[in-house]
Structure 1
């Protein structure tokens, strides 16, 4: 019998969501995304839950991104139909950002792609000193969506977002804190105790203050300053890359564990 992709644990006013696909480095499958969305919706209606902690099962990965094998590519007469596959992920990110109480990403292992954005969507990110984090879209031939790039800009700034997405580098140690991806870097054997001490500290505060402050902070997040024409251009750029030969080559190279041979088309 296959294990549940999402585990939910509660201790007093703190709930932990555990991405439970350790054999796949806790990558986001369509089923896991659906379960996360449903669970967050249910939890948001319960004001006795003051903090949500998100972590990965095991010790090797927080979340290795979206399961690349579930990503459709190839010719299509309707690009947007294919892109609908990714819509639930964007809904998940929005659900984490708009969750009424504070959220904490407890990053206990490798974190890449959509897993990195999931952590960025949380209010606070705490990572072990032996983890690695990266955004590999450029290495796969993918143009990251406007909404995702905006979240990174809001979290780590323009310059660090440019470096991260242009290079596709993997970051480790104190550099993760320097560029703003983590609030704290702690020894791996102290990660759990450090995270839950903070979660309990937050949960002990006045619920109206937590909920009200979270809402106002979200109201202060600036929307992307794009008119309709520029927004359509950004969407068309992402769509073109989504159907490119380079993306197919990037996926195949990833599966075959080799360097991709991009052709620029």
Structure 2
């Protein structure tokens, strides 16, 4: 059983009950534009869960950058939350996390910014030695959202989260394996076959059981109580950041390809 769908920026191929979704916006290094994210959401929502039993999310073969992260040109520049609930990236993260199928991120190349949140929202990660992972909001003066931070807290130790967020330095493949960011680190020549074998193994398991276990784990990880006044305080602090001169400077510097000069104002 094999079928395929294709657009200019994302392809979907189904073979042996495994759907492979390939990010294919090569010209923009798979920057997470609204168009690419909408295509990803459409691809995921269009899967027939009676036919498909597992999903692989990957970049087009040969790319040295798996994804460059959020398309900076599309971030709001005014007094608007750049990572609000309806942001295309947030909708894509929910689509992956709520999909009643196991999703494997197959990573060759570097993963930047919001793309790391995307990869961590998958159920597991298989990577090769070219992989690296960086989360970069401090390079832009961007206040990361609380939901996104909870995603990281559900996967990584607090000291690693702080180092990654505070330095924006990429974590190389071997370090990512040591910190259990990746489930399996395999040679580049074996990445495709290993990931497909892992996915095909899941297609033989009970799909209803896998779906409810995934949902239970999502609910248990996501629904951490927080007092209303504490949440409102955090949102007010975030608002001050995305309305700041530093945020404007971070975006301008990125677009002008220069080092940002942050003043803390």
Q: TM-score, normalised by structure 1?
A: 0.91
Q: Is the 8 A contact 2:18 2:203 kept in 1?
A: yes
Distance 1:106 1:73 in 2: 33
1:60-209 → structure 2 map (5 Å cutoff): 60-74=64-78, 76=79, 79=80, 87-209=87-209
What is the CA deviation profile of residues 142-195 of structure 1, one whole-angstrom value per residue up to 9, with x for unaligned ones?
Answer: 111000000001001222111111111111021011223211111112111111
Size of the aligned set, in residue pairs, is: 258
Distance 1:64 1:5 in 2: 14
Q: 2:53 aligns with which of 50, 62, 65?
A: 50
Q: Is the 8 A contact 2:124 2:182 kept in 1?
A: yes
Gapped regions of structure 1 (runs ≥ 5): none
Change (3 A) 1:230 1:85: closer
Most deviating of 101-110 and 84-93? 84-93
Distance 1:50 1:170 in 2: 33
Change (3 A) 1:25 1:248: same
Distance 1:174 1:145 in 2: 28
Q: State whether structure 2 residue 27 is matched by structure 1 residue 26.
A: no
What is the CA deviation profile of residues 192-229 of structure 1, one whole-angstrom value per residue up to 9, with x for unaligned ones?
Answer: 11111101111121222222322222232242331111
Distance 1:51 1:62 in 2: 20
Q: How far did residue 50 of structure 1 move?
A: 0.8
Distance 1:253 1:86 in 2: 26
1:47 is paired with a residue of what secondary structure? coil
Most deviating of 22-31 and 204-213? 204-213
Distance 2:83 2:206 in 1: 41
Q: Is the 8 A contact 2:121 2:151 kept in 1?
A: yes
Greater share of helix residues, 1 or 2? Answer: 1
Aligned to 1:36: 40
Aligned to 1:221: 221
Q: How far did residue 71 of structure 1 move?
A: 1.1
Distance 1:189 1:86 in 2: 39
Distance 2:171 2:159 in 1: 15
1:156 is paired with a residue of what secondary structure? coil
Q: State whether structure 2 residue 14 is matched by structure 1 residue 10.
A: yes
What is the CA deviation profile of residues 232-259 of structure 1, one whole-angstrom value per residue up to 9, with x for unaligned ones?
Answer: 1222222222222212221222233322
Q: TM-score, normalised by structure 2?
A: 0.91
Distance 2:153 2:102 in 1: 20
Q: Is the 8 A contact 1:33 1:89 kept in 2?
A: yes
1:66 is paired with a residue of what secondary structure? coil
Q: State whether structure 2 residue 264 is matched by structure 1 residue 234.
A: no
